[in-house]
Structure 1
C-alpha cells in the first residue's frame, strides 16, 4: 500500500476563520521570541496554549504589551520560571503544574500535560463504570491536578471536544545543540506517544488497500526562522505557499539512509539515496505551492519562514 500523508503548516499561521482552521495546541519553549508579529498570530490561532517552564518568561514580555490570551498552563520543573511571572499568571488563574521528573525535559512534560487533558476527555466520553463510581472529591482532585475539567462538565473548554489536537512547539530549534536534537527526537516519538502504537493498523491491514490518507495528529517545530517536521514513509504531500514560506528547504536523513523522489523542488531527486556521509539535500529551493516527497524512511523536512519586508 502507498501511504499518503498531507502536511499544511501554513494553515496554522493564517488569519482564516476559526471554523476553517485546524485545532492545535501551541507549546512555547524557553527561547527568545524575536518575531513578535508572527508569534502573536500563531498564539492567537491556537486552541490550547502551554508554556514549558521558562517559556512563560518570554511570553510575559509580550503579553504585557499586547492584547493576547493568557496561557492555559505553565508546566515543567519550574526552575527557570521567574517569580514575578509565576505570580502574575497565577493571579490570573493560569494552571501552574510542577513536574519534577528527572527523566523528561520541560518539552516532554508539556506534551505529557496535553496528553493528560485528552485522556480525561476520552474517559469522560466513554462513561465507564469506574468513571461513574468516582465521587465528587475524586473529580475535583483530577481537575486540580491536571488543570482542565472533564468534557461536558462546567468550565470545560471548547477545544477538548476536538481532541486530539495537532501540536506546534515554538522555539524548539535553536539554542543548545543537544536540545535541538532532543526536539527532533520528539518528532520520532510523536507517532507512538501522540497517535498510539498501531498508527497504521499493522501490515495485515495494508495488504487489503492500495492507498491510505493519514489523519493522525501532527507535531511540528516552529521558530521565526523555520518550520520542521518528520515526513512519514511513503508519499508526502506538503502545501508550501510561497507567500508564507521562503524558498529554501532541506531534506535531512536523520532516520538513516533513505531512497527519495521529489516533485516541485528546483533540484528534484528521483529514486536517489540520501544518507549522512553521502548525498544530503540541504539548501534546496521550493518552486511551487505544493511539493511531493516519496521516501522509504522517515525524513526530516525543513523550510524557512518568509520574512516580512
Structure 2
C-alpha cells in the first residue's frame, strides 16, 4: 500500500480498493484537512477510544458532518460528552476490556471482524496521527499493532508515513506528487539476511540489515523515480516523508 490509494480518494477517482481510516488519541494537527477531504470516500471511519476526543475537538462547528461509524477501545479516555454526542449521531460504540491489546489493535480486530462477517469491505487501512511524535512507548505500540493484522496498514503523521513490508518483493509507487523524498528501511523485527532495492539514492544490494550494524535511514527517493522496489528476506519497516499536510 502507498500514497496512491490516498491520492485516488482525494481526486475522487474510481478505485477498486476500499479504504478505512482510524483516528488515534494524538493531535490531528496537520491532518484535519486530509481527514475532511478523504472522509466521504472511506468505507469506514473508526475512532480509537480517545481519538474521538481529538476528532470532536478538531472539527468544532463541523462536528455534525464528521461522525465516525465506530468508536472502539477500552473507553477509558473518551470524555462523557463526546461519547454521548456521537451515540446520538449514530456511532456504534464498541467497548473491549482487554488490557493486553492497545486500542489500535482493538480497532484492527473489529475492522477484521466486520470484514469477515461481510458487514463492510475494507482493503486498506490508514491510521491518522499514529506516528506523530509524543510518547515513544505509544508509537512503538502502534508499530507492534501492524504485525497483528494480515495486510499492514499505513500509520500517518503530519509529515511521514510508516508501514511494514513482509518478506518478498514490493513495488512502491512514488510518483503521486505527494512524496517529499526522504525515506528509510528499518529491520524492526530483527536481523534480515538480504535486502535489495532500486529507486533510492543509496540502494541496497543483497545487504544484511540489523540494529547494531546496517539500517537505511535518511535515504532519498531518486528524483523522477516512478517506483521503489524492495526485495527482502525478512520484515522491514518502510517510512517516507509526504506532503499531505499541505492539503
TM-score of the pair, normalised by structure 2: 0.89
- State whether structure 2 residue 237 is matched by structure 1 residue 303: no
Query: In the TM superposition, what is the alpha-carbon distance from 1:186 to its structure 2 partner?
Result: 1.7
Provide the C-alpha distance between the structure 2 equivalents of 1:226 and 1:187, rounded to a whole number of angstroms.
Answer: 16
Structure 2 alignment gaps of length 5 or more:
none
**Aligned-residue CA RMSD (Å):** 2.0
Tell me what 1:140 maps to.
none
C-alpha contact (below 8 Å) 1:27/1:51 kept by paired residues: yes
Equivalent residue of 1:180, what SS?
Answer: helix
Matched, 1:29 2:56: no
| Higher Cα radius of gyration | 1
Aligned to 1:55: 51
Distance 1:64 1:185 in 2: 32
Match of 1:178 among 133, 137, 140: 137
TM-score, L = length of structure 1: 0.72
Q: Distance in 1 between matches of 2:71 and 2:58?
A: 16
Shift of 1:61: 2.1
Between the aligned partners of 2:101 and 2:152, the Cα distance in structure 1 is 21
Residues 17-38 of structure 1: CA deviation (Å, up to 9, x unaligned): 3532620111111000011212
Report the counterpart of residue 231 of structure 1 in structure 2: 165
Matches of 1:291 and 1:68 in 2, distance apart?
A: 38
In the TM superposition, 1:63-102 aligns within 5 A as 63-66=59-62, 68-102=65-99
Q: State the distance in 2 between where 1:227 and 1:97 align.
A: 27
* Pairwise CA distance, 1:300: 0.5
Q: Which has the higher helix share?
A: 1
Moved over 6 A (4+): none
Q: How does 1:196-215 map to 2 (within 5 A)?
A: none
Q: CA deviation at 1:184?
A: 1.5
Give 3-state SS (helix, strand or coil) of 1:256's partner. coil
Q: Which residue number in structure 2 is paired with residue 283 of structure 1?
A: 218
- 1:261–1:295 CA contact under 8 A, matched in 2: yes
Q: Structure 1: any 5+ residue segments left out of the alignment?
A: 1-6, 122-150, 152-159, 192-216
